[in-house]
Structure 1
Amino acid sequence: MEGQPDVEPRNQDQMDREREPAEDEWQSWQRGQVRNTLHLVSAAAQWILLLACLIYLGIDSLQPSTPRSDEVPWTHIRYTGKSIKGVAMNLTAELGSIQIRNGSIMITCDGLYLVSLKGLIFFPELEDSLKLTLQKMDKSRMTLCEQTVQNSGSAVDFTTVLFLFAQDNITLWTSSNATIKDLSFSLVLLISPLKCNM
């Protein structure tokens, strides 16, 4: 009987030694299971994101596209005739996409516009100069730019850049009665902060 107590501790030590590798193996297996679960969740999330992207692209491609004009707004006007002091010149478009209504150029898009005026101006001898004025046709009649012609029969050659707004109506005026020959007036949109709807 005295030998039995010695057997129990040895069996207990042996069992502890046998249990340690089994516990290590069990913990290793659990870590592997957790890792596998994380891989599975990660793969499922990636597939869900991929599917969502494909659905979004598919829906976007099925929507009808709105017609957009890639054409740059511009106009070219040729004018020969008489101008009357205090009356806007009756301009008509020769070429271009910008409309002219009742002698006014109808701006349809905000942006920087290149403005070019070329031609010959003849005015009465009583006048020593004449002003060509580009104005907005609103209540304020704001002057956008002005070119002074010193001598009758002088050539006008004027180019500038203006920022114009959609819904502006632009007209050309003279400061006295004049005869205008081969006036070439061009207006071209250079830069627009927004897409234009023509």
Structure 2
Amino acid sequence: MEGQLDGETRNQDKTGRETEPAEDAWKSWQRGQVRNTLHLVSAAAQWILLLACLIYLGINSLQPSTLQSKEVPWTHIRYTGKTIKGVAVNLTAEVGSIQMRNGSIMIPHDGLYLVSLKGAILFTDLEEEDLLMLWKTDKTTSEVLWKQTVQDSSNTVNITTVLYLFDKDNITLWTTSNATISDLSFSLVLISPFISSL
């Protein structure tokens, strides 16, 4: 009987020792499966997020611009006359779709505008620095967009630039002293409207 008990204990010890590595291998395999599943879920989530971003960008790029008509806002002004120091030049539009009010150009949409100004200017009151300035005025502020010194030896003005202007801005032209302007050609064209996102 005693020999039989010793044999059974030895068999249980052998079986116990044989099952420990098998259990360790099984647990290791399960951990590997969990890790693989987590990697798979993470990769799937990243692809879904990437797809959602691409769909959002695609929909956003297909949104129509805020402009109501297909006509590009623009104006062309010709001016010959006298200016008074501290008073805006009384501009009137010759052609174009941008409205003028009290000598000011009313900006209809946010965006990049191509501005071109050419002409001759002769200052009657010689100052240290005679300037031709383009001013922007909104509801609360007023600021110089650009200015050019006009020298008596060369009284021609030739400026072409791109400015970002906002809806409801007023654009005016000023001189720092009394002057006579001849053959002024002033053009303003919206080249890239701001497209609002949802």
Bin for the TM-score computed over the shorter chain: 0.5 to 0.7
Matched residue, 1:166: 167
Q: CA deviation at 1:129?
A: 3.9
Q: What does residue range 10-89 of structure 1 map to in structure 2 within 5 Å?
A: 68-89=68-89
Provide the rounded CA distance (Å) in 2 between the counterparts of 1:173 and 1:143.
10
Root-mean-square deviation (Å): 1.8
Structure 1 residues 140 and 72, CA gap change in structure 2 (3 angstroms): same
The answer to whether the Cα contact below 8 Å between 2:125 and 2:178 also exists between their aligned partners in 1 is no
Structure 1 residues 140 and 152, CA gap change in structure 2 (3 angstroms): farther
* 1:142 matches 2:146: no
Provide the rounded CA distance (Å) in 2 between the counterparts of 1:125 and 1:142.
24
The residue matched to 2:142 in structure 1 has which SS? Answer: coil
Q: What does residue range 103-142 of structure 1 map to in structure 2 within 5 Å?
A: 103-124=103-124, 126-138=126-138, 139-142=140-143
The residue matched to 1:87 in structure 2 has which SS? Answer: coil
Larger Rg: 1
The answer to whether the Cα contact below 8 Å between 1:123 and 1:152 also exists between their aligned partners in 2 is no
- Runs of 4+ deviating beyond 6 Å: none
Provide the rounded CA distance (Å) in 1 between the counterparts of 2:116 and 2:84.
21
The answer to whether the Cα contact below 8 Å between 2:125 and 2:179 also exists between their aligned partners in 1 is no
TM-score normalised over the length of structure 2 = 0.61
Q: CA deviation at 1:152?
A: 5.8
Deviation per CA, 1:65-90, whole angstroms, max 9, x where unpaired? xx931000000000000000100000
The answer to whether the Cα contact below 8 Å between 1:132 and 1:146 also exists between their aligned partners in 2 is yes
Q: CA deviation at 1:154?
A: 1.3
Deviation per CA, 1:34-87, whole angstroms, max 9, x where unpaired? xxxxxxxxxxxxxxxxxxxxxxxxxxxxxxxxx931000000000000000100
Aligned length, in residue pairs:
129
Q: Structure 1: any 5+ residue segments left out of the alignment?
A: 1-66
Q: CA deviation at 1:145?
A: 1.0
The answer to whether the Cα contact below 8 Å between 1:121 and 1:152 also exists between their aligned partners in 2 is no
Provide the rounded CA distance (Å) in 2 between the counterparts of 1:100 and 1:70.
20
Q: Which amino acid aligns with 1:101?
A: R
Provide the rounded CA distance (Å) in 1 between the counterparts of 2:154 and 2:178.
13
Q: Structure 2: any 5+ residue segments left out of the alignment?
A: 1-66
Q: Which amino acid aligns with 1:131?
A: L
Q: CA deviation at 1:116?
A: 0.6
